[in-house]
Structure 1
Amino acid sequence: MQEQLDWADLVTIDLAAVGTPEGKRQQADILISAVREKGFFYVKNFGISQERVDRQFALGKRLYELPLEEKMKYVPRGIDEGDVKGYLPAGRTVIDLENNIRDQLEIFNIPKFNGDFDHGHHPAVITEKLEEVEEFARSLHAEILDPLYVLLSIALELPEDYFTSMHSYELRSEDHLRYMRYSKYPPEINAKLSNWAFGHTDLGSFTLLFRQPVAALQIRYPSTNEWKWVKPQDATVTVNACDALQFLTAGYVKSTIHRVTVPPKDQQHVDRIGLLYFSRPHNDVKLSTIKSPLLERVGYTENEFENGGNPVPTMEEWTFAKQKWQAKVGVKGDAGTILPGFNEKVYA
């Protein structure tokens, strides 16, 4: 990379250090500082080899080499109502209104393998590797997410299993593994663009992001509203905190605004492939402020819904309300009420 970029200063959680109570406490302190101040952090030593990650990237590349006609067979029937399981084609969002330029973002989401979802309708490239995909998804949950939820529980002075019990892999939630591609634009189009995807927050608890060494992700610091680049870092996974944790902690944990901007000029000639996992509480979890000794001591006791006297949604209600809103939003600056008590907008 030739350009000098303004990188975000992010901490790294070391899961190799959580084998003792002292190690857990130390990493819990690092985690809570990260999700309070920046919302993004790295995780290392999580027990999943780079080879396994690389195989999933290779699978994603094969998936997106399929003809568009083939991929379109897997568009969810309820896409306009917030169903995102399967293939979501590019071009659904206008990212430059003046020049009528649409996004080139393709998404393929694979839900949990816990018996709640049908896995009989995937492209052959996925079906052939379905056992490996399941093993990878379950490993992400067990090797990365569960330890993070234990650390978060410790930080908020709760029983260690507090958050793992509301994020069990075997119970129904809208978790999914995602293969994602931002296809490159011609130089003359990039010259007109500010971003490839507008600023937004994720709707669940934690998002895991495995990245290629392509700079495009930026976060907005909550304290200053400055946009900073997130550096691809070897042997780590990038993690961000999301809406559900913000609701459950009455804003003590920040759901960080992030976007995909135009890459540096020396990296604009490649497609950007992403491999992600979106973790969410069980569908029936009510997004009320949790009873945490720490939160009560520092005065974080009511979230947006409770403070306005509005009904508090379940995770399932929040998920489909926001996904439905996202399906309809396509122009920078569009705003709207997702549910009574919560207004959302698209950030530049």
Structure 2
Amino acid sequence: MPAIALPPVPHWTSIEPTGEKLEWAELEVIDLARAKTTEGRTEQVEKARNAMHNQGFFYVVNHGLDKAQVERIFDIAAVPFEQVGSEEKKHFEARIKETGSFMGYKPLQYWHIANGVRDRIEHYNFNRNVNSKPHPDALRPFLPEIQEFVRHNHMNVLHEVARLLTLGLELPEETLVNIHNYEERITHILPATTRRRKQTGNVWMKGHEDQTSLSILYSQPISALQIRDVDSKWRWVKHIENALVINCGRTLEMLSGGYYRSAIHRVVQPPQDQRGNRRLGVFYFCYADDDVQLEPLSASPVLQRVGIKRRMEEGKAPLSGPWREAYIAAYGTSELEKGAEEGIEEEELHGIRVKHYN
């Protein structure tokens, strides 16, 4: 049977990884191929549980896509930014504040970073059903591939990681899988000017916790992502070719009764040898189903042994859908209060205190 010809797309050429000596975070590596064996699965469950409990971050390898397939996805990811004009982008701009949704374009300079400076981050977002909304003309030939990419991330990556983390809580394997929806985001980050770097302390996106359960980043060579490590120091996340970087968000932290750590992370100016280059990212975000109340999974024997930590009183946790929409609508646009800790600002959403780290 002849191979199906894929629509042509310009190749996105990235740069070499940085040669500078940076303080890298030491993150665990989860091997999904090894997790398919009996012995390996026990090992990977322990690794995933400990990593998410201590740091809230880990790498994933052998996720089912080879290097050429991932490069093709990055080629497609550049299309909404390289091949769509500014007027057409406005037609597909997301109504973030009104809807609490990122579907479509998030324009440049929408979020406030610091000292009156706004972001230089542009991204284009898909729903899990890519045909649920119209898209720019240049993207339409690639929708079947994007839909398959969404399916792969949900079925072959998120499901597998969710199962490992569920087993880490000593719960039935499908517990987290059964309560999770998903959506996909492609993100494009433009380089900041010198003036912006000085006014924001080289921060492109201030320290925060994702509102997701799990977030997946396809590793790319330009160093900009940092995590606030267990000792509260900011450390760089190193690029590993064809690996995924997965982090825990607030939703999973609440569901796990604080056992899995919602990872604080930020995006900063790249090291000197990589500046002046655009940073293209491909992300996949997983949210709990809209009607899931974000109460701890108290049946977990692990939580029964170590205790449950809550962000709010028992029985008063919000539903996932309203919580997600409130966070998205407020992020980067709301008035923040000075927190008790130096360099931290706060706001309250659905009764939960949300911190932003400068």
TM-score, with normalisation over the residues of structure 1?
0.90
Mapped partners of 2:146, 2:185: distance in 1: 11
Mapped partners of 2:301, 2:57: distance in 1: 24
CA 108–330 in structure 1, closer or farther in 2 if over 3 Å, else same: farther
Matched, 1:23 2:24: no
Aligned-residue sequence identity (percent) comes to 32
Mapped partners of 1:250, 1:104: distance in 2: 35
C-alpha distance after superposition, 1:191-226 (max 9, x if no partner): 4442011001111111110132001000001x3211
Tell me the residue number matched to 1:158.
Answer: 171
The one-letter code of the counterpart of 2:214 is: F
Mapped partners of 1:334, 1:30: distance in 2: 33
Mapped partners of 1:36, 1:7: distance in 2: 19
Matched, 1:258 2:269: no
Q: CA deviation at 1:128?
A: 1.4
- In the TM superposition, structure 1's runs of 4+ consecutive aligned residues that sit over 6 Å from their partners are none
Mapped partners of 1:140, 1:277: distance in 2: 7
Tell me the residue number matched to 2:294.
Answer: 287
C-alpha distance after superposition, 1:42-101 (max 9, x if no partner): 00011112222212211121211222221111112353441211111010123230xx32
Tell me the residue number matched to 1:180.
Answer: 187
CA contact (8 A) 1:25 1:155 kept: no
Q: Which of 247, 267, 276 is equivalent to 1:240?
A: 247
The one-letter code of the counterpart of 2:355 is: K
Matched, 1:346 2:346: no
Q: CA deviation at 1:186?
A: 3.2
Matched, 1:335 2:328: no
Tell me the residue number matched to 1:201.
Answer: 209
Tell me the residue number matched to 1:170.
Answer: none
C-alpha distance after superposition, 1:302-346 (max 9, x if no partner): 5222xx356221111211121122152377854211112x11122
Matched, 1:314 2:319: yes
The one-letter code of the counterpart of 1:83 is: S
Q: CA deviation at 1:187?
A: 3.8
Mapped partners of 1:327, 1:80: distance in 2: 14
The SS at the match of 2:78 is: helix
The SS at the match of 2:357 is: coil
Tell me the residue number matched to 1:217.
Answer: 225
CA 248–162 in structure 1, closer or farther in 2 if over 3 Å, else same: same
C-alpha distance after superposition, 1:93-144 (max 9, x if no partner): 23230xx32211001110112xxx7534111222211111000110011111
CA contact (8 A) 2:112 2:332 kept: no
Q: Which runs of 5+ in 2 are unaligned?
A: 1-17, 337-342
Mapped partners of 2:131, 2:64: distance in 1: 29
The SS at the match of 2:263 is: coil
Tell me the residue number matched to 2:77.
Answer: 60
Q: CA deviation at 1:181?
A: 1.2
C-alpha distance after superposition, 1:168-191 (max 9, x if no partner): xxxxx4x32111111112345434
Using the TM superposition, name which of 208-217 and 177-186 deviates more. Answer: 177-186
Mapped partners of 2:178, 2:304: distance in 1: 21
Taking the TM superposition and a 5 Å limit, the aligned residue runs for 1:113-124 are: 113=129, 119-124=132-137
Mapped partners of 1:275, 1:78: distance in 2: 20
Tell me the residue number matched to 1:277.
Answer: 284
CA 81–34 in structure 1, closer or farther in 2 if over 3 Å, else same: same
Mapped partners of 1:344, 1:39: distance in 2: 17
The SS at the match of 2:101 is: coil
The SS at the match of 1:129 is: helix
The one-letter code of the counterpart of 1:153 is: T
Mapped partners of 2:80, 2:66: distance in 1: 22
Q: State the Cα RMSD in Å.
A: 1.8
Matched, 1:9 2:22: no
Mapped partners of 2:126, 2:69: distance in 1: 17
The one-letter code of the counterpart of 2:168 is: A
Matched, 1:133 2:141: no
Using the TM superposition, name which of 63-72 and 273-282 deviates more. Answer: 63-72
Q: Which of 41, 50, 56 is equivalent to 2:58?
A: 41
CA contact (8 A) 1:28 1:155 kept: yes
Tell me the residue number matched to 2:121.
Answer: 105
TM-score, with normalisation over the residues of structure 2?
0.88
Mapped partners of 2:79, 2:225: distance in 1: 23
C-alpha distance after superposition, 1:12-56 (max 9, x if no partner): 000111223322111000001110111111000111122222122
CA 260–78 in structure 1, closer or farther in 2 if over 3 Å, else same: closer
Mapped partners of 1:335, 1:44: distance in 2: 36
Mapped partners of 2:195, 2:109: distance in 1: 18
The one-letter code of the counterpart of 2:34 is: A
Tell me the residue number matched to 2:11.
Answer: none
The one-letter code of the counterpart of 1:93 is: W
Tell me the residue number matched to 2:14.
Answer: none
